[in-house]
DNA sequence: TGGTCTGTTCAGAAAAGTCTGAAAGATTAA
DNA sequence: TTAATCTTTCAGACTTTTCTGAACAGACCA
């Protein structure tokens, strides 16, 4: 599956092996287990490290470098989302913004900018959201996800009782977290897809 | 950017052109605008159609087939998420489930199954969530996204006032939508990343 | 110092993926 | 029916990516 994901088959296999093995493995064991050349494994591990998806460890009494994946699956999701954002989304947004700063020369260009603006706002909104919720504790995160579309009932509840929303303690939200709600207008961010 | 996304550069360019042009274009105009061979465009459009990302249209007085993208950016997101789920996530889950049905032969195999189970549950939970919220109206969707991590304050609110949660109207949630909340245990689904 | 073990780099082989022109297929109009 | 116009298919040229073995580099030990 990884092959459709910007990471190649070999690298995916190495990662999968580390994930299911559940213990740190040295490069030569990986090469043997998967029948890859030693150099191929070396490069694959390099790439995984650049994605922060594997950690290098030294085991006592063994000179070789050992590699392992994070224990917690949610940690994996967080890292992946962050790295993709950094590598793919942010540069895209930056290009879009540059284009949006130019003065449109005519009606066509204005229309094009409008479309780009919509795409930009969409991406920004999705990214912001994902940044935001990824900072939550795993436990809170799963609670939200389990709720699914049921979340909308909570929103209805809040809308029907605006008084409550206004007078509650603000201490609960994470630090860098603004209080957008209906205020914010242009989104900023994009998850994957 | 598309090149890291399982869709190739050419196809991405065609799509981008259709998106920003904002009107249906025939294949030969696309070929000319992007300096691709006519056949290359034909294949690219085929692929985009298989992803349901472009729609074929016939314009009065013109025999050529014209292609356009959905107007609404959210529609694009919905389609992409659905297709990726269908093509990549569902088959993955299915393989994982097969593996989980096998009886573990020893302690190691049991440990491996445990890791696979975690991955399966994670993917399932994310997918379920995305299926779920994608069914919402765009307006509700953006409201939720804008709220970001602020959502957690709503959850707190609900938890602190369990009475309210129990006695409200159930009509608001979409049809096939269960009411998981703290009930559901094993997730089932995965977004991207 | 040399020998052993481990990790990295890199040129080119191998494989995978992309693109094209030519030819064939469809549809419409006359 | 033929001609005109448009679309699709496909073999092979071309490009890009991946993988390998060999050579190199550094650490450690005797």
Contacts (Cβ under 8 Å, ≥6 apart) of B127: B85, B89, B93, B187, B188, B189, B190, B191
pLDDT tens for A122-142 read 999 999 999 998 889 898 889
Which spans in A22-136 are helix H?
27-34, 38-50, 73-84, 90-101, 107-134
Confidence (pLDDT) at B52: 93
For residue B104, what pLDDT is reported? 94
**Residue B48, pLDDT above cutoff 60:** yes
Q: Which residues of chain A lie closer than 8 angstroms to B137, CB-CB?
A: none
Query: Order of strands, edge to edge, in the sheet holding B65-68?
Result: B25-26, B65-68, B55-58
Domain containing B145: what range? 73-163
Q: What is the pLDDT of residue A2?
A: 67
Domain boundary among A12, A45, A68: A68
Is A181 within 8 Å of B112 when comparing Cβ atoms? no
The structure tokens listed for A175 are 């630090």
Among B21, B144, B191, beta carbon nearest to A191: B191
Q: Kindly report the nearest CA distance between residue B191 and chain A, in angstroms.
A: 8
At residue A3, the pLDDT reads 66
- Judge whether A96 lies within some domain: yes
CATH (domain of A47): 1.10.10.10
Residue positions counted in chain A = 193
Q: Which residues of A touch B112 (CB under 8 A)?
A: 20-22
Within a domain: residue B188?
Answer: no
CB contact under 8 A, B172 and A152: yes
CA B27 to C1' C21 (Å) is: 17
Question: pLDDT tens digits for B106-117?
Answer: 999 999 999 999
Looking at B46, B68, B90, the residue that finishes a domain is: B68
Q: How many domains does chain A have?
A: 2
Q: Band the pLDDT of A143: cuts 50, 70, 90.
A: confident
Instruction: List the structure tokens of B147.
Output: 């709220």
Give the nearest nucleotide to A28, CA to C1': C6
In B, which residues are within 8 Å of A92 by CB distance?
A: 1
B32 and B53 housed in the same domain: yes
Instruction: Kindly state whether residue B187 falls inside one of the protein's structural domains.
Output: no
- Are residues A123 and A148 located together in one domain of the fold? yes
String of DSSP letters for A119-170: HHHHHHHHHHHHHHHHTS-HHHHHHHHHHGGGHHHHHHHHHH-HHHHHHS-S
Closest CA to A5 of B93, B77, B3: B3
Last residue of a domain, which of A36, A68, A100? A68
Quote the pLDDT of residue A150: 81
Query: How many angstroms separate the CA atoms of B137 and A152, rounded?
Result: 10
Residue-by-residue DSSP string for chain B: -GGGGTS-HHHHHHHHHHHHH-S-EEHHHHHHHHT--HHHHHHHHHHHHHTT-SEEEE-TT--SEEEE--S-HHHHHHHHHHHHIIIIIHHHHHHHHHHHHSPP-SHHHHHHHHHHHHHHHHHHHHHHHHHHHHTS-HHHHHHHHHHGGGHHHHHHHHHH-HHHHHHS-STTS-TT----TTS--S-B-----
CB contact under 8 Å between A133 and B151, yes or no, is: yes
Question: Do B80 and B157 belong together in one domain?
Answer: yes
Task: Tell me the pLDDT tens digit for each residue of A65-110.
Answer: 999 999 899 999 999 999 999 988 999 999 999 999 999 999 999 9
Question: Can you give the pLDDT at residue A193?
Answer: 42
Q: What is the pLDDT of residue A161?
A: 63
Please indicate whether residue B116 or residue B166 has the higher confidence score (pLDDT): B116
- Category of A127 on φ-ψ map: left (φ > 0), alpha (ψ -120 to 50) or beta: alpha
SS3 assignment, position A26: strand
Query: Do A62 and A78 reside in the same domain of the chain?
Result: no
Task: Report pLDDT digits (tens) over B51-75.
Answer: 999 999 999 989 999 999 998 999 9
pLDDT of residue A37: 96
Are A58 and A133 within one domain?
no
Helix or strand or coil: residue A55?
A: strand
Q: Within 7 Å: CB of B42 and strand D?
A: yes
Using 50, 70 and 90 to split pLDDT, how confident is the model at A172? very low
- Residue of A148, A156, A188 to mutate when probing chain B, most B C-beta within 10 A: A148
A134 within domain boundaries: yes
Span A155-166, pLDDT tens digits: 777 667 655 544
B123 plus B155 within the same structural domain: yes
**B150:A180 CB<8 A:** yes
B169 domain-assigned: no
CA distance A45 to chain B (A): 19
Dist CA A142 CA A126 (whole Å): 18
* pLDDT above 70 as % of chain A: 79
User: For position B8, what pLDDT does the model report?
Assistant: 86
| Inter-chain CB pairs, A–B, below 8 Å | 180
**How many whole angstroms separate alpha carbon B152 and alpha carbon A143?**
9
State whether B27 and B48 are in the same domain. yes
pLDDT at res. A19? 96
């Amino acid at each position: 599956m990884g092959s459709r994901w910007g990471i190649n088959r070999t690298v995916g296999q190495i990662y999968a092996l580390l994930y299911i093995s559940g213990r740190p493995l040295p490069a030569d064991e990986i090469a043997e287990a998967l029948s890859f050349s030693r150099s191929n494994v070396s490069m694959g591990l390099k790439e995984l490290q650049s994605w922060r998806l594997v950690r290098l460890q030294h085991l006592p009494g063994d000179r070789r470098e050992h590699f392992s994946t994070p224990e917690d699956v949610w940690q994996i999701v967080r890292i992946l989302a962050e790295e993709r954002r950094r590598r793919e989304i942010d540069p895209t947004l930056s290009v879009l913004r540059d284009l949006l700063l130019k003065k449109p020369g005519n009606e066509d260009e204005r229309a094009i900018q409008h479309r780009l603006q919509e795409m930009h706002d969409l991406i920004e909104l999705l990214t912001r959201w994902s940044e935001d919720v990824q900072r939550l504790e795993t436990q809170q995160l799963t609670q939200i996800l389990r709720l699914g579309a049921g979340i909308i009932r909570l929103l209805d509840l809040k809308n029907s009782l605006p008084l409550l929303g206004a007078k509650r303690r603000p201490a609960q939200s994470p630090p860098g977290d603004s209080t957008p709600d209906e205020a914010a207008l242009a989104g900023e961010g994009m998850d994957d897809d």
